[in-house]
Amino acid sequence: MSESEIPEGSKDIRCIVCPTGCLVHVENINGELIIEGHSCKRGEEYGREEFIAPKRILTTTIRVENGFLPLIPVRSDIPIPKEKLKDTLKEIAKTVVKAPIKMGDVLLKQVIGLDVNIIASRDLIEA
């Protein structure tokens, strides 16, 4: 990782890897990341990733045509870069799928050109 890829400044991050919930302090000092406050290696890695390139699993709904319900809950199959969430939501908002749908079905492949699929979070039968 090059020095230019690491954001400047510092950030306090609540670690969510385990129930302990450590407050991890991450600081970029002259291109070197200083990570403090973690009680395990996983917390250190979480703090590093969250500081450099935060990602989130996206959960939302997609409109359904001819379904028992008008919407189906969906999620991304892998975390999405935080700065791409709004663009992903805009693309999902344009989407309408047809029932029946099985939990785990891929409803959108490689959304906005990312290697991320949007999958159904439940079964949905036809109306």
Q: What is the pLDDT of residues 85-113, one digit of tens each?
A: 999 999 999 999 999 999 999 999 999 99
The number of distinct structural domains making up the chain is: 2
SS3 assignment, position 62: strand
**d(C-alpha 4, C-alpha 55), whole Å:** 19
Q: Is residue 125 part of a domain?
A: no
pLDDT for residue 4:
55
- Global pTM value: 0.84
CATH of the domain at 79: 3.10.530.10
Half-sphere exposure of 20 (CA within 13 A, CB side): 12
> Rounded CA gap, 39 and 23, in Å?
10
Separation of alpha carbons 78 and 109, rounded Å: 12
Structural domain range at position 32: 3-53
